[in-house]
């Protein structure tokens, strides 16, 4: 484990932690001494992530919860606090890609499902974790001890993103949630930020390439090339690069940073991606 251990003794909740960006974030916090509640919708997913952390000498709690369900979120936070201690950092990473295609063909069920997971889920998790954080603001003189919330958004929440309107709408909404909540709780020492990844090498991105290829009639490889071409670094980033920003925003080094939507995108340009 990391000898610096910036988060030693702190409790972190990471939703959508069984794979991709969420898994990398959970592992990174554990490497720096945090006790991590790894949340997934499946027992297999949460247990595998927790086992990976403990195998490396870290401390983890597997939690099965659907962030769309209010009762699940209440139980999730209660489990984390009862087993690990007061939650210091919440990372809202759980999300789904939703449909790819013109809005005129998106069903109401598809629309509502994307908003439920990507936006309402983050709202429910923020609300539940804040109950403890707000209590601690009244019992500590150290603002940094109160808490930190980091939402994992997307560059789709900052640009026009045709063929992925439900997803883009949910991520635009997540930035609004971030900024509004940051204003509400900032005076209490609680910081709220959003990370907006660009193309990150995950199973989700690969599924997006395949779906967009099917919707536009071009190959998935050409779609990949287009996504790479609109970045300044000319490459698809790794999940660890998002994890590094997450740890920075949760650390004391970012004590003056709140209400921000920060890109980790390789320099993503707002141009046509068709």
Query: Using one digit for the tens of pLDDT, what is the confidence trace for 76-85?
Result: 999 999 999 9
Is residue 161 part of the annotated active site? The answer reads no
Q: What pLDDT sits at residue 213?
A: 84
Query: Which are the contacts of 194, defined by CB distance < 8 A and separation ≥ 6?
Result: 150, 151, 152, 153, 157, 174, 175, 178, 260, 261, 262
HSE-CB of 48 using CA atoms within 13 angstroms: 13
Res 268 pLDDT > 90: no
Per-residue pLDDT, averaged over 19-40, amounts to: 97
Which is catalytic among the residues 29, 167, 172, 268?
167
Res 272 pLDDT > 70: no
* pTM for the predicted model, two decimal places: 0.92
Res 67 pLDDT > 50: yes
Q: What pLDDT sits at residue 151?
A: 98
Domains annotated for the chain, with CATH where assigned, are 11-199+238-264 (3.40.50.720)
Res 2 pLDDT > 80: no
Q: What pLDDT sits at residue 203?
A: 85
């Amino acid at each position: 484990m990391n000898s610096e251990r910036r988060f030693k003794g702190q409790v972190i909740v990471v939703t959508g932690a069984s794979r991709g960006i969420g898994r990398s974030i959970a592992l990174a916090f554990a490497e720096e001494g945090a006790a991590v509640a790894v949340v997934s919708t499946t027992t297999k997913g949460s247990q595998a992530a927790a086992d990976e952390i403990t195998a490396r000498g870290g401390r983890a709690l597997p939690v099965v919860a659907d962030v769309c369900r209010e009762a699940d979120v209440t139980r999730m936070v209660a489990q984390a606090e009862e087993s690990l201690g007061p939650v210091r950092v919440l990372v809202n990473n759980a999300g789904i890609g939703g449909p790819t295609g013109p809005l005129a063909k998106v069903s109401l069920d598809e629309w509502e499902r994307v908003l439920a997971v990507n936006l309402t889920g983050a709202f429910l998790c923020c609300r539940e974790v804040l109950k403890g954080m707000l209590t601690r603001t009244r019992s500590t003189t150290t603002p940094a001890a109160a808490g930190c919330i980091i939402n994992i958004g997307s560059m789709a929440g900052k640009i026009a993103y045709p063929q992925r309107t439900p997803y883009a709408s949910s991520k635009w909404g997540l930035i609004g949630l971030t900024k509004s909540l940051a204003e509400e709780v900032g005076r209490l020492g609680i910081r709220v930020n959003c990370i907006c990844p660009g193309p990150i090498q995950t199973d989700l991105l690969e599924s997006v390439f395949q779906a967009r290829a099917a919707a536009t009639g071009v190959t998935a490889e050409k779609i990949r090339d287009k996504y790479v071409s609109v970045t300044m670094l000319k490459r698809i980033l790794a999940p660890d690069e998002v994890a590094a920003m997450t740890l920075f925003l949760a650390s004391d080094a970012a004590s003056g940073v709140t209400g921000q939507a920060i890109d980790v995108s390789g320099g993503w340009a707002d141009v046509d991606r068709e």
